[in-house]
Amino acid sequence: MPNELAETDERQSVELVPDFSYEDRHEFVTNLAYRLWKERGSPQGSPVVDWIAAEQALYSSLVASGLITPSATDMQHLEKTLYR
């Protein structure tokens, strides 16, 4: 599974645009993960790969926008969810 996660790092940056102005975080990640899965050709299994990629993309976008301050433990938490 770590190889699959590495593949997500090689993707082009994802444009993060909510479908509507008050979309909540969970719904946004759900929609983005689905879009990433479709872009990968809708393979069977491994939905967590796209979910983690979506979480990481959202986190990176929030840090880049200055809305949140980066934390080393944030990324560690995201990576640990992959192995639960």
Q: What is the pLDDT of residue 39?
A: 94
**How far are the Cα atoms of 39, 49, 55 from residue 82, in angstroms, in the given order?**
20, 8, 11
Q: What is the pLDDT of residue 22?
A: 59
Establish if 37 belongs to a structural domain: yes
Look up the pTM and report it: 0.62
Establish if 53 belongs to a structural domain: yes
HSE (CB half, 13 Å, CA atoms) of 84?
A: 8
Q: What is the pLDDT of residues 13-62, one digit of tens each?
A: 556 665 555 568 888 899 999 999 999 999 998 889 999 999 889 888 88
Establish if 51 belongs to a structural domain: yes
Query: Domain total for the chain?
Result: 1
Establish if 16 belongs to a structural domain: no
Q: What is the pLDDT of residue 62?
A: 82
Residue 65 backbone dihedrals phi, psi, to 5 degrees: -80, -10
Q: What is the pLDDT of residue 17?
A: 60
Establish if 62 belongs to a structural domain: yes
Establish if 17 belongs to a structural domain: no
72 vs 16, higher pLDDT: 72
Question: Given the structure tokens 């479709």, which residue do they identify?
Answer: 38
Q: Provide the domain limits for residue 57.
A: 2-8+23-81
